[in-house]
Amino acid sequence: MVEICLLGCGGMMPLPDRWLTSMLYRHNGKMILIDCGEGAQIPIKLSGWGFKAIEAICFTHYHADHVAGLPGFLLSLGNSGREEPLRIYGPLGLAEVVKGLTVIAPELPFDIILVELSGSKPEVNKLGDIIINSTPAEHSLPCLAYNLELKRAGRFDVTKAKALNIPMELWGRLQSGEEIAYEGKLYKPDLVLGKPRKGLKVTYFTDTRPTDDLVNFSKDSDLLICEGIYGDEDKLPKAIEKKHMIFSEAATIAKNSNSKELWLTHYSPALTEPELFLDNAKNIFTNSHLGKDLKTKTLSFEES
């Protein structure tokens, strides 16, 4: 099971009724924060999910509306009692950005581990059983798209396990994908596991033009959270100029990637009534929805 909280859905600047775009992902006691704009600790507090279990931040890029909230967030995380290291992922320039932002948060009760990602190729990292995939996006400075993925092993075959005389105390470890050397024998999961089942995939990107690579990156997402800085089709030239996307372009990515559901986010401050333009997305991809501050969703594995 995965839980998603869209903390905010605004771009450029926080508004009285709209926090800046960021997302919390929660699975099995671990949380990952994507982007951390100005004031991010406030919607995190409002979500009720707490700070202490946040184990990593993934930065898409280093415009202020995506990173300027880092010092306040780190101080709030420290005040929560966290002492374990925090990982921060981001495109090239990560060390310089974090060094500058943490001048005003110099004493923290935990270490920060920086993981600088390539801006030119896809990369894969892991946090426990959460797979963090990243790939370049097309913006005015280095920018990354992310998806967070949970794989799901095949069903455990008890009949096979018994036929192979595999000790019962090893069954759980084999089911979790572990290879085990036991009493002179090597037991591999594929001895007793069926075909891998469908996992869960959440894809997130903002501040980019649509690309074929992003369609492939989003393929079969259970939830795609994608920017729609403008809803009006007439704003397309401005979106192209600033390297952003409008609602219909986000919906086209959702459709072409066979995603299950689309949440639009990262609205321009000038887009005060995004609901007026939602049909521009729905006419292309029916299961399109407007992102809203503190919008949540629980994703569960399909029955099989």
User: How far, in Å, CA of 130 to CA of 150, rounded?
Assistant: 5
Q: Which of 163, 189, 166, 162 lies closest to 178 in space, CA to CA?
A: 189
**Tokens 């994908």 label which residue?**
177
Give the C-alpha distances (Å, rounded to integers) separating 256 from 35, 196, 211, 220, 221: 26, 24, 11, 10, 11
User: How far, in Å, CA of 267 to CA of 81, rounded?
Assistant: 34
Residue 65 carries which side chain, given as an amino acid letter? D
What ranges make up the beta strands (E) of 193-261?
A: 197-205, 223-227
Q: Which of 35, 65, 222, 293 is catalytic?
A: 65
Q: Which of 150, 153, 149, 157 lies closest to 196 in space, CA to CA?
A: 153
User: How far, in Å, CA of 133 to CA of 217, rounded?
Assistant: 9
What is the DSSP track for 39-71? TTHHHHHHHT--STTEEEEE-S--SHHHHTTHH
CB 54 within 8 A of CB 32: yes
Phi, psi for 275 (deg, rounded to 5): -60, -25
Q: What residues contact 45, with CB distance under 8 A and at least 6 apart?
A: 76
What tokens were used for 119?
Answer: 């801006």
Any catalytic annotation for residue 232?
no
Which residues have a catalytic role annotated? 65
